[in-house]
Structure 1
């Protein structure tokens, strides 16, 4: 009788899909979120809906300004697909420093915004809050 494959521990971690035309941003976010999250980077915003359906992320972090497809267009495309419409989306921006993000409240509709330069603590805080995870449970 063949052995059953063990579940992949990486797949058990909450998934964060990062959509940014700069691959280094996904790597930076992955390093800031630590080992408790499975961060998937996507540099082609046109593939956002298909990749979100495939990965089933708990939250999507999406750049605002990208060539070819802007963040609001990605958000709209995700909202039109029943399988991705309910996935929380947070805009990423390099336009402001982390302490200026509160000034953006409401600027991009209902979507919260986080600075690409956010500290590991601030980034983990927003992701765990959106995922509904107790802050100390993701450490």
Structure 2
């Protein structure tokens, strides 16, 4: 650990002797150790401290370790921090309780020092790798937001898509993982436009055939940007295929009908609706009624999945107050 930032370990145990033993075991190995005897104080400190590993005694009078673990794992700011429960309890039910609370590992009392060092080292490395992935995810998301910010005419396009596609996906009865994928796609679908020159991306008039060929590469560029991150694996088909058309006239692969991934077909309808109801340099915003008429005609002409479009129109009529265009002048 000489050439990298020290791993931080938070130990929570109401017995100060145990804190001292763990500190004397880990500190010589290069760990930065902080000990607390109060679990309630630990809950306050963890978000600020952001340790790489938490060692948590189970049997404490103020609050038991299972409760503390459950609270930390339910908080978005702390849920990725590995937690090791330290316990003298040997019953199978106790371990099941710990697993249900979200703990990552167990250590039995009396603690074996070599086992303690090995487990804390391994979990600290996992935490740092997770941190790097989260950082990489945030960078890609920032790229996507930067693309959106370039075009002042689209407003909060990504946020509008996220709200509407989440609501529509719930109406369709999609599973929660697919809803999350669609919400992420709302931010990431056009991240590939970062590879499109501004003179093409922001051109107010019609693109030339050559310029259009450059523009049509953005779904592939977006896929290439996101592919190295496993966390985006489910979003890749939506990024690549959200410009395909039901009749095969879309891009980049000219997929047709049900060969187009289902989530991409769901997403592209919401994307089309938002594009039609938003003011652009080359057009006024269409009203809700005009947009529905256009989408129905485009569906008849083979652009959109007919069954999904039927569901979308029903959904929009049901939620007219929430998603209809308010200012239609």
Name the TM tier (shorter chain). Answer: 0.7 to 0.9
Between Structure 1 and Structure 2, the one with more strand by share is 1
* Alignment partner of 1:123 is 2:116: yes
- The equivalent position to 1:74 in structure 2, one of 56, 68, 71, is 68
Within a 5 Å distance, the mapping from 1:36-115 to structure 2 comes to 36-95=30-89, 106=96, 108-109=98-99, 111=103, 112-115=105-108
Normalising by structure 2, report the TM-score: 0.33
Q: Distance in 1 between matches of 2:80 and 2:51?
A: 11
* Alignment partner of 1:22 is 2:15: yes
Aligned 8 A contact 2:10 2:54 in 1: yes
TM superposition shift of 1:116: 3.8
RMSD of the TM alignment (CA)? 2.5
Gaps of 5+ in 2: 127-329
Higher relative contact order (CA 8 A, sep 6+): 1
Report which of the two structures shows the higher radius of gyration computed on alpha carbons.
2
1:12-67 Cα distance to aligned partner (Å, 9 max, x none): 31111001111111110011113210111011101222211121100100011110
* Alignment partner of 1:34 is 2:24: no
TM superposition shift of 1:85: 1.1
Q: What is the DSSP-based 3-state SS (H/G/I as helix, E as strand, rest coil) of the residue aligned with 1:18?
A: strand
Normalising by structure 1, report the TM-score: 0.74
Q: Distance in 2 between matches of 1:95 and 1:79?
A: 21
Between Structure 1 and Structure 2, the one with more helix by share is 2
Aligned 8 A contact 1:19 1:61 in 2: yes
Sort the Cα spacing of 1:40 and 1:116 in 2 relative to 1 into closer, same or farther, 3 A: farther
Aligned 8 A contact 1:16 1:59 in 2: yes
Aligned 8 A contact 1:48 1:78 in 2: no
Q: Distance in 2 between matches of 1:81 and 1:105?
A: 22
Q: Distance in 2 between matches of 1:95 and 1:86?
A: 25
How many residue pairs get matched?
Answer: 119
Q: Distance in 2 between matches of 1:70 and 1:105?
A: 14
